[in-house]
Structure 1
């Protein structure tokens, strides 16, 4: 045994068998010498009655002095109850963010979330998260990594915030699965970007204009009766796009749409007489269970966004999304005195706060209401100087 110094290490000749030479100054610090001549510094320690070794680096890449300092640090960690060798192996086994995302989708999202959520998370990970963070180990990703990702996506704040949200869910599960220490989720202190709430809905003139365009395009054969019905049903029921697009005749009664599953679970949607009459006008296709039929086959109409883009362009409503038809339903309901609690049930919201965000009153309605209040007060106060 001798002190492991640069000169001594370089003087050691390889043997026919692998061997470890121990330092005579620092207990547990040694040099593994392979028959090929490769030399690697190691530290040996005992924890919970078991002897473990950790490689500190190859001689030539790491100096003897650097390896000695690292060995002392490892021994200090062991004295505090840590296991450097196990931690290193854990890091090597740790999945990347991309691999963690795949497990998250298959073992959590597929079992506990709606198919639409699975689809959204899959696209978010593939197109937003993985190109930036996919290669980083889940055990090593830091606040700085996620903050940099969030900053890079600042021009698309919604995507940036949703990316951090899905990372937060994934890293919480990584803790539950033993892939990270508990309570180390680095997403917690990332400040989300403000998101502008979209309040677009159709006023009465726009509603009339849309109705006229739909009727003209139907008469000219530019859209089918089923596409025409789909857009009217969205307005007349306040349903979500998927609820109408994938509506089956088995769900339709004289007074309700009985959806066995939706974004918020089972739903019973009131079916007003105009919507009922519209449904009665639609022909059913033998062997096809869907209400909104495509041009052929046994499924439903696949892409209502395509005809909608044409319809809104003709109607001069280029900024109106299909989901804004649902906004319009909620706004008309509130402006006509429908109680928000009742509207919550009609729209199928879990929380009243969601309903209130949908129920955007128009400037004209607010102005008229304020005028009524002021006129009443002015009448009570009498003549104003």
Structure 2
């Protein structure tokens, strides 16, 4: 590797995993490139018989390659004199604020380990709730009582409160792992989460008819109409349809082969009605996606806004997009599919997730039991 320069560091492209570019003038000096694109200057040195890593700072103002190299020389001089610069850093870490830690949390954990939809949820919790409340607080100073008060202030939005508490808890777990909190305590542990009411909404045959008629009239946003039809006819998750590419569609096998989903790669079996919808969609040569967006080569990123307009026109104001998936499962159960089959159709990784539909199955069993008992009762009466 050549001597690190602004040109070399700027040109370094992020990869699937983090990697180091080493400076040939100072072998212990390098820049670490994260998958998020973040670049950090570091030094590797030995102290007390162990290899240690000292972080100088992130590439950009004020740290250029030249300034970082000068700092590396100073730090290595302290190492050669018998000091361990990392000891001083322990105290610095204890002084790290939530705002400072959240940047590292998003770069090194969220962007690296989580799927895009989950990344968005985490970033929303951090940007809208955690940083506005605790941004200037030191990580080491936040107590369970502080978190409990914060959680109580969000009682009007219990679902978001629970998601935010989960994100905050993960932040403190990593703070312990990264040596930023050294007390071994997670102040989120023991804070009571709110009870969430599982909302169940399924479309009736009459509501399906109203939705279909509205989609037929949605001429000014055909991409949204196609997406809604595919959600209704496949039971797929929203993002699975949004990011569906033509290369994932196998008409002869009646399959969608999704390389990635909430539960990993999966195959979705589709019916002829869904196939007909897909075949009716114009295929753009410069766009790999089935449901295209306004940006060239991209997919339709926002379906919530057109869905609000569509559901209002159809008189379905209380129906969420995810309820279309629930309705697909409900109809499958009514037609006799068992929970294991429903789980495969929806791509559930755990049968417990599918079990939420068990009460619908029980209703079918109740009706069938009633028919059988009526038949036997009639036989006993000689009818």
- Same fold? TM cut 0.5: yes
**1:245 and 2:246 aligned:** no
Name the SS of the counterpart of 1:345 in structure 2.
helix
1:370 aligns with 2:375: no
Per the alignment, residue 221 of structure 2 pairs with 223
Q: CA deviation at 1:371?
A: 4.2
> Is residue 308 from structure 1 mapped to residue 307 from structure 2 by the alignment?
yes
Give ranges in structure 1 of 5+ residues lacking alignment.
Answer: 1-85
Q: Secondary structure at the match of 2:356?
A: helix
Spell out the pairing of 1:141-160 with structure 2 (5 A cutoff): 141-160=142-161
Q: Which residue of 1 aligns with 2:286?
A: 287
- Residue by residue over 1:312-352, the C-alpha shift from the partner in whole angstroms, topping out at 9 and shown as x without a partner, is 11111001111111111111112212121222222122211
- What is the rounded CA distance, in whole Å, between the counterparts of 2:187 and 2:295 in structure 1? 50
Moved more, 352-361 or 188-197: 352-361
Whether the aligned pair in 1 keeps the contact of 2:94 and 2:140 (CA below 8 Å) is: no
Report if the CA contact (8 A) 1:234-1:240 is conserved.
yes
For structure 2, the residue ranges without an aligned partner over 5 or more in a row are 1-86
Aligned partner of residue 139 in structure 1, secondary structure? helix
Secondary structure of 2:212 counterpart: helix
- Counterparts of 1:262 and 1:287, CA distance in 2: 24
Q: Distance in 2 between matches of 1:359 and 1:233?
A: 25
SS at match of 1:187: coil
- Assess, with a 3 A threshold, how the Cα gap between structure 1 residues 88 and 109 changes in structure 2: closer, same or farther: closer
Retained in 2: the 8 A contact 1:168–1:187? yes
Partner of 2:137 in structure 1?
136
CA contact (8 A) 1:340 1:355 kept: yes
Indicate the SS of the match to 1:257: strand
The verdict on how the C-alpha distance between 1:268 and 1:174 changes in structure 2, with shifts beyond 3 A counting, is same
Measured after TM superposition, the shift of residue 150 of structure 1 is: 0.4
The match for 1:328 is 327
* 2:341 match: secondary structure: helix
Query: Structure 1 356/292 Cα, relative in aligned 2: closer, same or farther at 3 Å?
Result: same
| Partner deviation per Cα, 1:5-28 (whole Å, 9 max, x = no partner) | xxxxxxxxxxxxxxxxxxxxxxxx
CA distance in 2, matches of 1:100, 1:160: 20
* SS of residue paired to 2:189: coil
8 Å CA contact 2:238–2:321 kept in 1: the answer is yes
C-alpha displacement of 1:360: 6.4
SS in 1 for 2:236: coil
Structure 1 Cα separation of the partners of residues 371 and 103 of structure 2: 62
After superposition, give the CA deviation of every residue in 1:137-196 in whole Å (9 maximum; x if it has no partner). Answer: 111110100000000000000111111111111111111111223541111110111011
State the match for 1:109 in structure 2.
110
Any residues of structure 2 matched to 1:180-259 within 5 Å, and which?
180-181=181-182, 183-215=184-216, 217-218=217-218, 221-224=219-222, 226-254=223-251, 255-259=254-258
Distance 1:122 1:296, change over 3 A: closer
Quote the Cα distance in structure 2 between the aligned partners of 1:296 and 1:139: 44
For residues 215-251 of structure 1, the C-alpha deviation after alignment (integer angstroms, 9 at most, x for no partner) is: 2x14xx3332x33221111011111111111211111
Bigger mean CA deviation after superposition, 258-267 or 92-101: 92-101
From the CA coordinates, give the structure whose radius of gyration is larger.
1
Q: Secondary structure in 2 aligned to 1:361?
A: helix
Structure 2: how far apart are the matches of 1:359 and 1:380? Answer: 27
TM-score normalised according to structure 1 size: 0.70
Residues 230 and 244 in structure 1, CA contact (< 8 A), matched pair in contact too: yes
1 CA distance for matches of 2:296 and 2:338?
42
**1:136 Cα offset (Å):** 1.7
Q: RMSD between aligned alpha carbons?
A: 2.4
Aligned to 2:316: 317
1:291–1:378 distance in 2 versus 1, CA, 3 Å: closer
